[in-house]
Amino acid sequence: MKKLLSLFLCLCFFIPVTVRAEAPLELTAKSALLMEASTGTILYEKNSHDALPPASVTKIMTLLLVMEALDSGQYTLDDMVPVSPLAASMGGSQVYLEENEQLSVHDMIKAVAVASGNDAAVALAEFTAGSHEGFVNKMNERAKQLGMNDTHFVNCNGLDIDGHVTSAHDIAVMSKELMKHPKIFEYTTIWMDSLRDGAFGLVNTNKLVRFYQGATGLKTGSTSVAGFCISATAKRDGMDLIAVVMGSPTSKERFADATKMLDYGFANYGICSSLVSEEELAPITLKKGIKDNVSIGMADGFSLLMEKSKIANIEKKITLPDYVNAPIHNGHKVGEVEFFSEGQSVGKCDIVAKEDIKAETPWGMFKKIGSFFLYGN
């Protein structure tokens, strides 16, 4: 028999619903999108699936593949990256790499993330995949895996070339994926730095890093064909937002549009990672185990996004069994909690065991039975 706990919660703070609202925003960009990162909820969009040239915002995918290579152990931040003739020949934004020069992976990432170095992007691409062409193939494969259906990459740095396109929606998707690698923020939040033992100065192309509260990155881009683009990320009160702008007429308007979307998101939405107290998730009875109960809690990674403007009473229903049987493992689902706003379900979260407990051995069971008969407990 299961026990149902229907509990009513009056919140002294706001938790927005995961429903897109009509945002009263006037943007100059051709295309734009605002996404909450933990849930992937789209909060605002304008022509978000139009396939457009992304300029150096392309490098978000380049950095994603580099971070994944680092995580897999393919190379380390201290490994040295050689500069090929192709990498040294790149125009546009660059850190003026010379053929046969070597910089560490760490410095190359910094050159890409801070100064948007096209030469450094190609050097990293060749170091990761063996060739620029091979790396671009990996970029397109990864885009397909992420469901980026508006995207086709032709290079790793975003220099104008026919057929190199993506959308505001797809940029938000790959930005969200890159944000799963917290190490990247150590680079994208740099305002000023240097390379070559201080001989070459770097200033971040993303002015929001210095001037917008909570800004965490992520990447700018501009060419004569693409116009001015950005994937702007920021974090406040535990909520990460991604504001994508494509095809702005000027750099100033690009940052203004991104700021408008971020301001709108933070003003109207909020995120909550837990709505259930420890008292409501007391240990539950464990049978056939070396312990008599097991600690439980909310599954990791839970978050609930809702609109602040909807001052609503949130109801929650916790469903738990009377007992569970050993063995049980940390993370094993034992129940769930569902949240409701205005009678509609707005989210669920698994309730899981928070410890590993082995099953009792036959000898242990025998001793427990004997103790019961001898002492009554």
Residues labelled catalytic: 56, 59, 116
Q: Are 114 and 190 in contact (CB under 8 A)?
A: yes
Residues in CB range of 22: below 8 A, 6 or more apart: none
Q: Are 175 and 218 in contact (CB under 8 A)?
A: yes
Bridge partners of residue 222, in order along the sequence? 228
| Cα–Cα distance, 307 to 16 (Å, whole number) | 3
| Cα–Cα distance, 290 to 299 (Å, whole number) | 24
In 130-184, which residue ranges form alpha helices assigned H by DSSP? Answer: 132-145, 168-178
Buried b (16+ CB within 10 A) or exposed e, 307-324: beeeebebbbebbbeeeb
Residues in CB range of 319: below 8 A, 6 or more apart: 2, 4, 5, 335, 336, 337, 338
Q: Are 118 and 144 in contact (CB under 8 A)?
A: no
Q: Are 306 and 17 in contact (CB under 8 A)?
A: yes
| Cα–Cα distance, 324 to 332 (Å, whole number) | 11
Q: Are 68 and 146 in contact (CB under 8 A)?
A: no
Nearest to 19 by CA among 42, 35, 2, 36: 42
